[in-house]
Each structure stands twice: as structure tokens, then as C-alpha cells.
Amino acid sequence: MSKVEYTGITGIGMYVPEKRLTNADLEKMVDTSDEWITTRSGIKERHILAPEEAVSDIGANSARIAMKEAGVSPEEIDGIIFATLTGDTPCPATACHLQHKLGAINAYTFDLGAACSGFVYGLAVADSLIRNGVGRTILVIGADSLSRVTDYQDRGTCVLFGDGGGSAIVQANASQGRILSHYMGADGS
């Protein structure tokens, strides 16, 4: 295996479910208004996962876009890091469900639960794994279905949360892409 000089993000993807929950919908559910929500958050609508969809579906849809952009097949993925707080099941990890959906038969998998910062931590872990020789191509996903754990009687929080996610392909010595190692302090800073 050749020496890893840097890691790069070679593909990115995002996905949000089709179903939408608007401020007008929330006005019917809780004591709020479009003006109140928009003034405080700027949010007009949020995407909501359908009952038959899973968080791993968000991950699979966003991952396929990232993989296509990076030119990576499922078999080329060495590892899958899935940052989520609302995974499909506590065990097995949601990353395992995603591995199956993608056909990433050669990938090790694990979930990372760190709330809003989970995706950033996932990128740092991917960079570290690649630099330590534990693979050359890692898929990092950040996805949640916060609508499934939101209290729609609490107007202070229910107006904020929706569902969706994003993915990144992180690769060793990528000939193109966004250089990740620079941002992770690989230059000794």
C-alpha cells in the first residue's frame, strides 16, 4: 500500500424526502404562526420521512450521488461511517443496513452518534483511518429523521427539525476533489 500524503473528498451527495411540513401545517398543530417561525428561524418548510422510509434510505440516496460523482463502485468502498442519532435500529448499526442497500460487500461499518457535529467527526475519523492504512475509500454519511422524535406540542422545538442527510466519499491521495487533510490539521497546525 502506497504512503498516504493527504485525503480528499472526491464526491458529495445529499437527499431530503419528498414529503414536506410547512409552517401553515404547523399552525394547525401548535400555537404558532408562519411569521413567528420565519422571524426566529428563517424556516418555511421542512422535509419529513414517509412512514415506509428509513434513515438508511436517506443515506443510500445521498451515497449513490456521492459515489457517482467520485466514480466509485460499492465494491470499492472500504469503510462506511454513518453519523446519526435516529438510526434504523440500535443493533445492527444503521451503517450495516446501508452497506446491504448499496451492496458494499467489502466495507467495514459503524455508526457515530454525535448530534449536529457527527458528520464533521465522521470526516475526521475517515481521514485518520485512511492515514493509518485502514482503507483508501471511505463513505461518510450524516443523516437523521428528527421528525420521528420531535414533540409536536412543543412550539419552541417542533418548528426547527426535519429529515435529510448528506454523504461524502473520502479517498487517499485523491487526484481531484477537496483536500480534507488540510482542514484536519495534517500540516501540524
- Segment 53-65 shows an average pLDDT of 98
* Sign of the four-CA dihedral 45, 53, 103, 90: positive
pLDDT at 31 > cutoff 50: yes
At residue 28, the pLDDT reads: 95
Tens of pLDDT along 175-185?
Answer: 665 666 555 55
Q: Half-sphere exposure of residue 63, counting CA atoms within 13 Å on the CB side?
A: 30
| Segment 80-88 mean pLDDT | 97
pLDDT digits (tens, 9 = 90+) for 4-24: 778 899 999 999 999 999 999
Determine the pLDDT at residue 187: 45
pLDDT over 80 (residue 82): yes
Q: Is the pLDDT of residue 48 over 90?
A: yes
**Segment 16-42 mean pLDDT:** 95
The percentage of the chain sitting over the pLDDT mark of 90, rounded to a whole number, equals: 84
In the predicted structure, residue 47 carries a pLDDT above the cut 80: yes
String of DSSP letters for 45-89? EEE---TT--HHHHHHHHHHHHHHHHT--GGG--EEEEE-SS-S-
- For residue 188, pLDDT over 60 is answered with no
Give the chain's mean pLDDT.
91
CA-CA distance, 17 to 162, in Å (whole number)?
9
Residue range 150-168, pLDDT digits in tens:
999 998 899 999 999 999 9
Q: Please report the pLDDT score of residue 178 as a whole number.
A: 60
